[in-house]
Amino acid sequence: MAAESESRDGWRWPLLFLWVLYIAVGAFPEDFYYLMRAVGQVTTQRAFVNSHWLVYLVWIFVLSWFVVRRATLLGMPPIDAIGRGLCVLLVALVAFFPVGLGEVLNFFEQIPDPGVRHLFQGFAVIKGMALVLLLAVLVHYCLGARPRAREREH
């Protein structure tokens, strides 16, 4: 039993690194999409998908599916697991929304209406908070105490 715990502990930091990378790509799906197209030297005419929205949607659904799957494996009732997955889906919709914050900040001073400026500021803050929340959930999953299905009491 101790060997299993030690081997699992050895994977916690690499797993956390991969999740942080996942969150970073999700935070900027448009930039990631164009970077991968440039690295792969794919032209617009030969691209399988010509939109960064696919990266956005896939990232959201993969993270939500992961939460539902892990909750189900830990013995949670399926309806509760789906509820948690939907909560993560809603947070990820905001956190991974493909808006170029750099572009918003560049044009921020040129917006004449202060109400609209505050709206953009609010969205940037909410998106940042959603990213921090997702990161906190994944850090807790990787580094926190994870109960096993057979150890969980109902």
The answer to the question of residue 97 being in a domain is yes
The answer to the question of residue 148 being in a domain is no
The answer to the question of residue 68 being in a domain is yes
Output the CA angle 137-120-57, nearest 5 degrees. 50
The answer to the question of residue 152 being in a domain is no
The answer to the question of residue 153 being in a domain is no
The answer to the question of residue 111 being in a domain is yes
The answer to the question of residue 136 being in a domain is yes
User: pTM score, two decimals?
Assistant: 0.76
Q: How far is CA 91 from CA 47, 63, 99, in A?
A: 30, 11, 15
Containing structural domain, residue 67: 2-143
Asked if 134 contacts 95 with a C-beta cutoff of 8 angstroms, the reply is yes
Number of structural domains the chain divides into: 1
- How confident is the model over 31-80, as pLDDT tens digits? 888 888 888 888 777 767 777 788 888 889 999 999 999 999 989 999 99
The answer to the question of residue 7 being in a domain is yes
- How confident is the model over 70-117, as pLDDT tens digits? 999 989 999 999 999 999 999 999 988 887 666 666 777 788 888 888
Asked if 82 contacts 124 with a C-beta cutoff of 8 angstroms, the reply is no
